Amino acid sequence: MKTDRFQLEIIPIKNLIVHEEFDQSRSSNLIKKLKKSNLFTDPIIVASLGDGKYIQLDGMNRINCFKILGIKNILCQIIDYNNQEEFNLSSWIHLFKAKREDFFKHIKKDRNIVIKKADIAQIGPRYIKEKDFGRLVTVVDKKAGTFLVLTGGSFVEKIKRMNHIVSFYENSINRSILPFPMTSRNIRLFFYEHPDLNFYDHPDANLMVVFPNFTPQQIIEIVRSGALVPAGITRHLVKDRCLNVNIPLNFFDNNKSIKELNKNLDELLLKKSVRAYEESTIHFE
Protein backbone atom coordinates (compact mmCIF):
# COMPACT_ATOMS: atom_id res chain seq x y z
CA MET A 1 0.00 0.00 0.00
CA LYS A 2 1.32 3.41 -0.99
CA THR A 3 -0.27 6.65 0.21
CA ASP A 4 0.87 10.27 0.22
CA ARG A 5 2.29 9.70 3.74
CA PHE A 6 3.69 6.16 3.81
CA GLN A 7 4.44 3.05 1.77
CA LEU A 8 4.02 -0.43 3.25
CA GLU A 9 4.99 -3.53 1.32
CA ILE A 10 5.83 -7.17 1.97
CA ILE A 11 9.31 -7.91 0.64
CA PRO A 12 11.29 -11.18 0.43
CA ILE A 13 13.98 -11.22 3.12
CA LYS A 14 16.44 -12.46 0.50
CA ASN A 15 16.06 -9.08 -1.25
CA LEU A 16 17.14 -7.13 1.84
CA ILE A 17 20.75 -6.02 2.25
CA VAL A 18 21.64 -5.30 5.86
CA HIS A 19 23.95 -2.46 6.87
CA GLU A 20 24.73 -3.50 10.44
CA GLU A 21 25.96 -6.43 12.47
CA PHE A 22 23.39 -8.38 14.44
CA ASP A 23 23.09 -8.24 18.23
CA GLN A 24 22.62 -11.93 19.06
CA SER A 25 21.57 -11.18 22.65
CA ARG A 26 18.25 -9.68 21.55
CA SER A 27 16.74 -12.57 19.55
CA SER A 28 15.40 -14.98 22.13
CA ASN A 29 13.11 -12.49 23.92
CA LEU A 30 11.62 -11.21 20.68
CA ILE A 31 10.98 -14.73 19.37
CA LYS A 32 9.16 -15.57 22.61
CA LYS A 33 7.11 -12.39 22.24
CA LEU A 34 6.25 -13.16 18.62
CA LYS A 35 5.20 -16.71 19.42
CA LYS A 36 3.10 -15.59 22.38
CA SER A 37 1.26 -12.78 20.58
CA ASN A 38 1.34 -14.38 17.11
CA LEU A 39 1.47 -10.80 15.80
CA PHE A 40 4.02 -8.82 13.83
CA THR A 41 3.58 -5.31 15.21
CA ASP A 42 5.95 -2.81 13.61
CA PRO A 43 7.26 -2.88 10.02
CA ILE A 44 11.00 -2.71 9.51
CA ILE A 45 12.41 0.34 7.69
CA VAL A 46 14.06 -0.06 4.28
CA ALA A 47 15.04 2.04 1.27
CA SER A 48 15.23 0.95 -2.34
CA LEU A 49 18.63 0.34 -3.92
CA GLY A 50 17.08 -0.46 -7.32
CA ASP A 51 16.81 -3.80 -9.13
CA GLY A 52 14.41 -5.11 -6.50
CA LYS A 53 16.98 -4.80 -3.70
CA TYR A 54 16.46 -2.85 -0.47
CA ILE A 55 18.81 -1.64 2.24
CA GLN A 56 17.72 -2.42 5.81
CA LEU A 57 17.79 0.75 7.94
CA ASP A 58 16.00 -0.47 11.07
CA GLY A 59 14.70 -3.84 12.23
CA MET A 60 17.75 -6.11 12.06
CA ASN A 61 16.52 -8.10 15.06
CA ARG A 62 13.08 -8.67 13.51
CA ILE A 63 14.68 -9.85 10.27
CA ASN A 64 16.83 -12.36 12.12
CA CYS A 65 13.86 -13.63 14.15
CA PHE A 66 11.85 -14.19 10.97
CA LYS A 67 14.77 -16.17 9.54
CA ILE A 68 14.93 -18.32 12.68
CA LEU A 69 11.16 -18.90 12.49
CA GLY A 70 11.46 -19.90 8.83
CA ILE A 71 9.39 -16.97 7.53
CA LYS A 72 10.71 -15.86 4.14
CA ASN A 73 8.97 -12.48 3.72
CA ILE A 74 8.58 -9.47 6.01
CA LEU A 75 6.51 -6.30 6.23
CA CYS A 76 8.52 -3.18 5.38
CA GLN A 77 7.98 0.54 5.40
CA ILE A 78 9.82 1.93 2.39
CA ILE A 79 11.31 5.41 2.61
CA ASP A 80 13.09 7.58 0.06
CA TYR A 81 16.73 7.62 1.21
CA ASN A 82 17.38 10.62 -1.04
CA ASN A 83 14.76 12.73 0.71
CA GLN A 84 16.06 13.72 4.14
CA GLU A 85 12.75 15.39 4.97
CA GLU A 86 11.42 11.85 5.47
CA PHE A 87 13.90 10.85 8.17
CA ASN A 88 16.70 11.92 10.49
CA LEU A 89 19.88 9.85 10.74
CA SER A 90 21.91 10.02 13.93
CA SER A 91 23.73 7.59 16.23
CA TRP A 92 23.09 5.81 19.49
CA ILE A 93 25.60 5.68 22.31
CA HIS A 94 26.52 2.44 24.09
CA LEU A 95 26.77 1.98 27.84
CA PHE A 96 28.28 -0.98 29.65
CA LYS A 97 30.20 -2.10 32.71
CA ALA A 98 33.89 -2.97 32.46
CA LYS A 99 37.33 -1.97 33.66
CA ARG A 100 38.52 0.89 31.48
CA GLU A 101 42.05 -0.54 31.50
CA ASP A 102 40.78 -3.85 30.07
CA PHE A 103 38.69 -2.06 27.45
CA PHE A 104 41.61 0.11 26.32
CA LYS A 105 43.92 -2.91 26.25
CA HIS A 106 41.47 -4.59 23.88
CA ILE A 107 41.21 -1.49 21.68
CA LYS A 108 44.99 -1.14 21.44
CA LYS A 109 45.34 -4.64 20.00
CA ASP A 110 44.84 -2.74 16.76
CA ARG A 111 48.10 -0.81 16.53
CA ASN A 112 46.53 1.71 14.17
CA ILE A 113 44.47 3.13 17.04
CA VAL A 114 45.58 5.90 19.41
CA ILE A 115 43.82 6.88 22.65
CA LYS A 116 44.27 10.28 24.29
CA LYS A 117 42.64 12.22 27.12
CA ALA A 118 40.13 14.86 26.12
CA ASP A 119 37.74 17.48 27.44
CA ILE A 120 34.04 16.91 28.08
CA ALA A 121 33.23 19.54 25.44
CA GLN A 122 34.59 17.21 22.75
CA ILE A 123 31.90 14.57 23.24
CA GLY A 124 29.23 16.12 21.01
CA PRO A 125 27.77 14.81 17.72
CA ARG A 126 30.01 14.93 14.65
CA TYR A 127 30.48 13.13 11.35
CA ILE A 128 33.16 10.54 10.74
CA LYS A 129 36.12 11.54 8.58
CA GLU A 130 36.23 9.23 5.59
CA LYS A 131 39.95 9.81 5.06
CA ASP A 132 43.02 10.83 7.04
CA PHE A 133 43.71 10.65 10.77
CA GLY A 134 40.88 11.61 13.09
CA ARG A 135 38.49 10.66 15.85
CA LEU A 136 36.79 7.28 15.53
CA VAL A 137 34.76 7.23 18.76
CA THR A 138 34.75 8.95 22.13
CA VAL A 139 34.90 6.98 25.39
CA VAL A 140 33.59 8.43 28.65
CA ASP A 141 34.55 6.87 31.98
CA LYS A 142 32.14 7.76 34.79
CA LYS A 143 35.04 8.60 37.09
CA ALA A 144 38.07 9.22 34.86
CA GLY A 145 36.50 11.49 32.23
CA THR A 146 36.68 11.64 28.45
CA PHE A 147 39.02 9.95 25.97
CA LEU A 148 39.32 10.22 22.19
CA VAL A 149 39.94 7.08 20.15
CA LEU A 150 41.70 8.12 16.95
CA THR A 151 42.83 6.34 13.79
CA GLY A 152 43.75 6.85 10.16
CA GLY A 153 43.12 4.74 7.08
CA SER A 154 40.28 4.39 4.62
CA PHE A 155 36.60 4.74 5.46
CA VAL A 156 36.01 0.98 5.33
CA GLU A 157 39.08 0.33 7.51
CA LYS A 158 37.65 2.74 10.09
CA ILE A 159 34.34 0.88 10.10
CA LYS A 160 36.18 -2.41 10.70
CA ARG A 161 38.04 -0.83 13.64
CA MET A 162 34.75 0.37 15.04
CA ASN A 163 33.56 -3.26 14.97
CA HIS A 164 36.77 -4.25 16.78
CA ILE A 165 35.95 -1.77 19.55
CA VAL A 166 32.36 -2.98 19.97
CA SER A 167 33.43 -6.64 19.97
CA PHE A 168 34.68 -6.12 23.54
CA TYR A 169 31.11 -5.78 24.86
CA GLU A 170 29.00 -7.03 21.92
CA ASN A 171 26.93 -9.37 24.12
CA SER A 172 25.82 -6.58 26.44
CA ILE A 173 25.00 -3.64 24.18
CA ASN A 174 22.80 -1.10 25.95
CA ARG A 175 21.77 1.85 23.77
CA SER A 176 20.80 5.37 24.72
CA ILE A 177 21.15 9.00 23.56
CA LEU A 178 23.38 11.76 24.85
CA PRO A 179 22.10 14.18 27.48
CA PHE A 180 21.95 17.87 26.60
CA PRO A 181 23.51 20.18 27.54
CA MET A 182 26.65 18.08 27.95
CA THR A 183 28.29 19.21 31.17
CA SER A 184 30.39 17.14 33.55
CA ARG A 185 27.52 17.16 36.03
CA ASN A 186 24.95 16.06 33.46
CA ILE A 187 27.18 13.23 32.25
CA ARG A 188 27.62 11.97 35.83
CA LEU A 189 23.86 12.15 36.41
CA PHE A 190 23.29 10.39 33.10
CA PHE A 191 25.06 7.25 34.29
CA TYR A 192 22.81 7.10 37.35
CA GLU A 193 19.47 8.50 36.28
CA HIS A 194 18.92 8.24 32.52
CA PRO A 195 15.57 6.41 32.02
CA ASP A 196 16.75 4.56 28.89
CA LEU A 197 19.44 2.72 30.85
CA ASN A 198 18.45 -0.81 31.87
CA PHE A 199 19.72 -0.88 35.45
CA TYR A 200 18.65 -4.50 35.96
CA ASP A 201 21.18 -5.63 33.36
CA HIS A 202 23.75 -2.89 33.96
CA PRO A 203 23.36 -1.65 37.55
CA ASP A 204 26.89 -0.24 37.59
CA ALA A 205 27.47 0.90 34.01
CA ASN A 206 30.61 2.99 34.07
CA LEU A 207 31.67 3.33 30.43
CA MET A 208 30.04 5.14 27.53
CA VAL A 209 31.03 4.94 23.84
CA VAL A 210 29.91 7.86 21.69
CA PHE A 211 29.82 7.13 17.95
CA PRO A 212 30.00 9.53 15.01
CA ASN A 213 27.03 10.28 12.81
CA PHE A 214 26.84 8.97 9.24
CA THR A 215 25.27 10.32 6.08
CA PRO A 216 22.89 8.16 4.01
CA GLN A 217 25.50 8.12 1.25
CA GLN A 218 28.05 6.69 3.70
CA ILE A 219 25.64 3.96 4.80
CA ILE A 220 25.14 2.96 1.16
CA GLU A 221 28.91 3.06 0.59
CA ILE A 222 29.42 0.72 3.55
CA VAL A 223 26.85 -1.73 2.17
CA ARG A 224 28.27 -1.67 -1.34
CA SER A 225 31.77 -2.33 0.03
CA GLY A 226 30.52 -5.46 1.81
CA ALA A 227 31.24 -4.02 5.27
CA LEU A 228 28.80 -3.66 8.20
CA VAL A 229 28.59 -1.10 10.97
CA PRO A 230 28.46 -2.48 14.53
CA ALA A 231 25.08 -3.42 15.97
CA GLY A 232 23.02 -0.72 17.62
CA ILE A 233 24.74 2.39 16.28
CA THR A 234 22.69 3.98 13.49
CA ARG A 235 19.44 5.62 14.57
CA HIS A 236 16.88 6.35 11.85
CA LEU A 237 13.97 8.51 12.99
CA VAL A 238 11.31 8.29 10.31
CA LYS A 239 8.59 10.84 9.74
CA ASP A 240 5.16 9.15 9.60
CA ARG A 241 6.56 5.94 11.05
CA CYS A 242 3.97 3.16 10.86
CA LEU A 243 3.50 1.33 14.15
CA ASN A 244 1.09 -1.23 15.63
CA VAL A 245 0.09 -2.66 12.25
CA ASN A 246 -0.46 -6.00 14.04
CA ILE A 247 -0.44 -8.63 11.31
CA PRO A 248 -0.83 -12.31 12.31
CA LEU A 249 2.32 -14.33 11.72
CA ASN A 250 0.41 -16.89 9.67
CA PHE A 251 -0.36 -14.07 7.23
CA PHE A 252 3.22 -14.44 5.96
CA ASP A 253 2.47 -17.68 4.12
CA ASN A 254 5.63 -18.94 2.38
CA ASN A 255 3.47 -20.72 -0.18
CA LYS A 256 1.92 -17.49 -1.45
CA SER A 257 3.55 -15.25 -4.04
CA ILE A 258 4.70 -11.74 -3.13
CA LYS A 259 2.04 -10.34 -5.42
CA GLU A 260 -0.68 -12.27 -3.60
CA LEU A 261 0.70 -11.35 -0.17
CA ASN A 262 0.71 -7.65 -1.03
CA LYS A 263 -2.79 -7.86 -2.44
CA ASN A 264 -3.92 -9.43 0.83
CA LEU A 265 -1.97 -6.76 2.74
CA ASP A 266 -3.80 -3.93 0.96
CA GLU A 267 -7.14 -5.56 1.75
CA LEU A 268 -6.18 -5.98 5.40
CA LEU A 269 -4.89 -2.42 5.81
CA LEU A 270 -7.99 -0.90 4.23
CA LYS A 271 -10.01 -2.42 7.07
CA LYS A 272 -7.85 -0.74 9.73
CA SER A 273 -8.32 2.77 11.09
CA VAL A 274 -5.25 5.00 10.95
CA ARG A 275 -4.35 7.83 13.30
CA ALA A 276 -1.38 10.15 12.73
CA TYR A 277 0.30 11.86 15.69
CA GLU A 278 2.14 15.06 14.79
CA GLU A 279 3.55 15.58 18.28
CA SER A 280 6.35 13.60 19.91
CA THR A 281 5.05 10.71 21.97
CA ILE A 282 6.34 8.59 24.84
CA HIS A 283 5.45 4.87 24.85
CA PHE A 284 5.46 2.74 27.99
CA GLU A 285 6.03 -0.91 27.07
DSSP assignment of 29-55, as one string? HHHHHHHHH-EE-S-EEEEEEETTEEE
CA distance 91 to 210: 8
What confidence score (pLDDT) does residue 201 get? Answer: 47
CA distance 81 to 128: 19
Is the C-alpha dihedral spanning 9, 21, 204, 100 positive or negative?
negative
What confidence score (pLDDT) does residue 124 get? Answer: 75
Name all domains of the chain by residue range, CATH numbers in brackets. Answer: 8-86+239-270 (3.90.1530.10), 91-235 (3.30.1760.10)
Q: pLDDT, tens digit, for every residue of 50-87?
A: 999 999 999 999 999 999 999 999 999 999 999 989 99
CA distance 198 to 267: 40
pLDDT-based confidence at residue 162 (cuts at 50, 70, 90): very high
Q: Is the pTM of this model over 0.85?
A: yes
DSSP character at residue 188: H
Give the whole-number percent of the chain exceeding pLDDT 90.
70
- Confirm if 156 and 223 have CB atoms less than 8 A apart: no
Cα three-residue angle 121-190-237, rounded to 5 degrees: 85
Q: pLDDT, tens digit, for every residue of 210-247?
A: 999 999 999 999 999 999 999 999 999 999 999 999 99
pLDDT-based confidence at residue 197 (cuts at 50, 70, 90): very low
Angle, in degrees to the nearest 10, between helices 60-69 and 27-37: 60
Q: Is the pLDDT of residue 188 over 80?
A: no
Q: Is the pLDDT of residue 30 over 80?
A: yes
Number of H helices and E strands in the chain, helices first, is 7, 15
